[in-house]
Amino acid sequence: MEIFDIIQAQYNCHKSNLSKTPKRTPIAWTFYRQGEWHIYNERYFEQLSKDAGSTLVVPSVPIQFHSDIHGADKVIDQTDLAEALPDSDATYQDWLNAGKFEVGTASFDQPFIHQNAVYRVDGLVDEKGFFDWTQRAAARPDLALTGKSNTGMIRAMCILNFRLTYFSFTDIIHLNYPLYDRSYQYVWLRNFAKMDHVRTLSSSTYSCTDPLALMKTCKPQHDLFAETGLSLRHPGNVGITLGILLTCGLVAGCVAFYRNRRQTKIEYFPLSNF
């Protein structure tokens, strides 16, 4: 089996596993340029988001940025910070300021802000600071991996740029369902709201000799959500659930003890009887 076919099979396996998710996480892909905000709604982002078990937030025409982005639980931003913002080392607060998300106003009341869920695709950059993600954007997951284009050129590009075609997809899966693969680590995405660090890729650390070496085998799980009984979204759900059950058990035990104590009749014998 060719490398392309293996990548495609792995992609479709994950896609199938997440196809029956009970609730798809709404994601907005954004960028800021020349003083204006944009929300992507191209087919590329729609297909990639859908296959990864989420849904794409579609902007109004004309765009109403604060209103449109309010429907997003998570944001993936692709702004060129060095070009769009005054400070090339822009922080998350700088990003909020550029978006005019002001504390105490309706603009700040956004689900993704409250959840610290603003991500960027600059988690991996080259030695000059260019995004590794965009450098390899020639291989389009929506075209190459859904079988809509099987030309030799696209096939070759897909193989050579496997990190984009496959791991951009699995990055988004991990963003939405961190319990789906607990050991997975982001390739390109980083949590910008939490100011996660950026990793620099050099010629000495980059290797494509075995493009399948980093790829885990996907196992079909047709009843994934029914079997777990728990959300795959939040790692804390299991702990919270156990905590609630434990608390309920303690409360029930105390109530039962109190009722039993009240129902117990204590007989007193006068000392004169002895």
106-120, 158-172, 243-257: range with lowest mean pLDDT: 243-257
Instruction: Check pLDDT > 70 for residue 199.
Output: yes
Amino acid 131: pLDDT: 75
Amino acid 89: pLDDT: 80
Contacts of 81 by beta carbon, 8 Å cutoff, 6+ apart: 87, 88, 89, 90, 94, 95
d(CA 33, CA 105): 24
Amino acid 31: pLDDT: 94
**Pairing state between β 190-191 and 25-33:** unpaired
pLDDT 10s digits, 119-134: 998 888 877 777 777 6
With a pLDDT cut of 70, the percent of the chain lying above it is: 65
Contacts of 23 by beta carbon, 8 Å cutoff, 6+ apart: none
Q: What is the mean pLDDT of the chain?
A: 76
What pTM, to 2 d.p., does this model score?
0.74
Binned at pLDDT 50, 70 and 90, residue 253 comes out as low
Instruction: Check pLDDT > 60 for residue 162.
Output: no
Tokens standing for residue 42: 């191209």
Amino acid 225: pLDDT: 76
Amino acid 58: pLDDT: 95
pLDDT 10s digits, 30-76: 999 989 999 999 988 898 899 999 999 999 999 999 999 999 999 99
Is the bond preceding 62 in cis, omega lying within 30 degrees of 0?
A: yes
Binned at pLDDT 50, 70 and 90, residue 240 comes out as very low
Task: Give the count of beta carbons closer than 10 Å to the beta carbon of residue 205.
Answer: 8
Mean pLDDT of 80-97: 86
Instruction: Check pLDDT > 70 for residue 140.
Output: no
User: CA torsion, points 24, 144, 179, 197, in degrees to nearest 10?
Assistant: -100
